[in-house]
Amino acid sequence: MTDRILIIDFGSQVTQLIARRVRESGVYCEIHPFNSLDASTLERYRPKAIILSGGPSSVMASEAPLAPQAVFEMGVPVLGICYGEQAMCAQLGGTVESSDHREFGRADLEITDDCVLFDGLWSIGSKQQVWMSHGDRVTGLPDGFRTVAVSKGAPFAAIANDERRCYGVQFHPEVVHTLDGAKLLRNFTHHVANCRGDWTMAAFRDQAIAKIKDQVGDGRVICGLSGGVDSSVAAVLLHEAIGDQLTCIFVDHGLLRLNEAEQVVDLFRDHYHIKLVHRDAVDLFLGKLAGETDPETKRKIIGGLFIDVFDEEAHKIGGADFLAQGTLYPDVIESVSFDGGPSVTIKSHHNVGGLPERMNMSLVEPLRELFKDEVRALGRELGLPDDMVGRHPFPGPGLAIRIPGQDITPERLEILRKADHIYLDEIRRAGLYDDIWQAFAVLLPVRTVGVMGDLRSYDYACALRAVTSTDGMTADSFPFEHDFLARTATRIINEVPGINRVTYDVTSKPPGTIEWE
């Protein structure tokens, strides 16, 4: 059985980063909320070690979140991070107090004693840069613990109990500002917990194939293909596992980029020989979108139609027992929310959220344990071409949300496709594609005056957008050289009839969003 680490989540903003670091060191792990576990679920999970995350609460509060006591009685190593250290201390008989010295940001850690967590990294007496974010702090250690590092605001900045194999750090080793943080976590997983570090994408691929075969048996599976990374990787993985029991359905809504529909058909039908239904629904979608300019209405129309068409095609091929989806781990992790109340909907992204309910089939979700970059690694392992695996995200409603404030017509789509294609071509030529999270053109609802040769032009303006981001939640505009922008603008204006002005969007998110609608 693969070694597994359990991460117990107390609601920190950066819990996912702990999982990322652990997996990067070749060890499988999962995140579970503190209140979802009891002794029997812990027993069944059979972790090699447990990590307690940080969190926004105070151990001093009356209803403070705690780890199930069984965590400390299973005999497996435990590492408490920030709030996790405080909870561990409180639960094992130590004391925690509020401090007037809040430590936030970079801090100096002074190593005061040997510790297996510091092996090969930090020696006694040295100072190390770590990242802190805490108000409360440990003030009295439980029996059997010793202090191994201190900082200005935390007299027990790192603590150890080698006999119990329990460790605590007040800082956050999972964030990059703790310079050796990933190595420290590796010391915990590999040297304290003795994990083998053999969780690779090759191993995952074999396990996933066995799991799919086991789940599906001789049943039939359908899978929606969008041309994006997740559904593509899911489809190829499923095809390896069950061959012709899989049929993919590709609904072409006419809102894709230049040549994208052909590429999907070429790759999956002609190259991989996957059974593929290609439904050209362009007229249907554009017909229903005619006259609509409101972003949310457009999303609803597209999402609803997509489900109808998909369902129709699935019936035509005689239905299936399973619906495959490219759901990823970040969508699965149940986050712990302390502030209650739903957050405001800025945009309704779940375009096809209703599909599983409507179709009443069991779900196959072979990527639900993976982060996005792991899906890319799996795609490479499966031999998918690099330009497919490294693709920027593309929204479900496609180009419909990149023609803001105006009717979506074939002519406008055509203009936008050409401009977008030139922009991405220039980005690739400049070798910048992989440095950018997402880049695209937007056709603006405004015409401007220009001179082309000796003639007056009165054409559309287009905006270029490119952002850097790690998860799409926040983003910065990409700092292109001026020459690049000038060159791209010239090409677009010369090569795309209908556009005579190009602007670059420098808005960050927040306060902007990545898409214009």
Active site amino acids? 82, 172, 174
The residue (of 337 and 513) whose beta carbon lies closer to ligand XMP is 513
What residues pair up with 475 in beta bridges, in sequence order? 509
The residue (of 134 and 299) whose beta carbon lies closer to ligand XMP is 299
Q: How far is CA 215 from the centre of its chain?
A: 26
Q: Does 330 sit behind a cis peptide bond, omega within 30 degrees of 0 on the bond before it?
A: no
Residue that has been written with the tokens 């992989």 in this structure: 434
Chain residues binding ligand XMP by CB under 6 A are 299, 347, 349, 351, 393, 395-397, 438, 472, 509, 513-515
The residue (of 150 and 251) whose beta carbon lies closer to ligand XMP is 251
Tokens (6 digits) for 318: 């005689």
Question: Residue type at 499?
Answer: I
Q: Where are the alpha helices (DSSP H) in 62-121?
A: 83-91
**Minimum separation from the CB atom of position 257 to ligand XMP (A):** 13
Q: Is 173 in contact with 122 (CB distance < 8 Å)?
A: no
**Minimum separation from the CB atom of position 352 to ligand XMP (A):** 8
What are the start-end ranges of the E strands in 291-336? Answer: 322-324
The half-sphere exposure of 17 on its side-chain side, counting CA atoms within 13 A, is 17
* DSSP code, position 436: -
The residue (of 450 and 512) whose beta carbon lies closer to ligand XMP is 512
The residue (of 224 and 395) whose beta carbon lies closer to ligand XMP is 395
Q: Is 95 in contact with 118 (CB distance < 8 Å)?
A: no
Q: Is 473 in contact with 435 (CB distance < 8 Å)?
A: no
Q: Is 352 in contact with 304 (CB distance < 8 Å)?
A: no
**Minimum separation from the CB atom of position 20 to ligand XMP (A):** 19
* DSSP code, position 345: -
**Minimum separation from the CB atom of position 73 to ligand XMP (A):** 43
Residue that has been written with the tokens 């999303």 in this structure: 299
**Minimum separation from the CB atom of position 344 to ligand XMP (A):** 12
**Minimum separation from the CB atom of position 389 to ligand XMP (A):** 17
CA distances from 286 to 63, 228, 407 (A): 54, 21, 10
Q: Is 324 in contact with 355 (CB distance < 8 Å)?
A: no
Q: How far is CA 413 from the centre of its chain?
A: 29
The residue (of 33 and 395) whose beta carbon lies closer to ligand XMP is 395
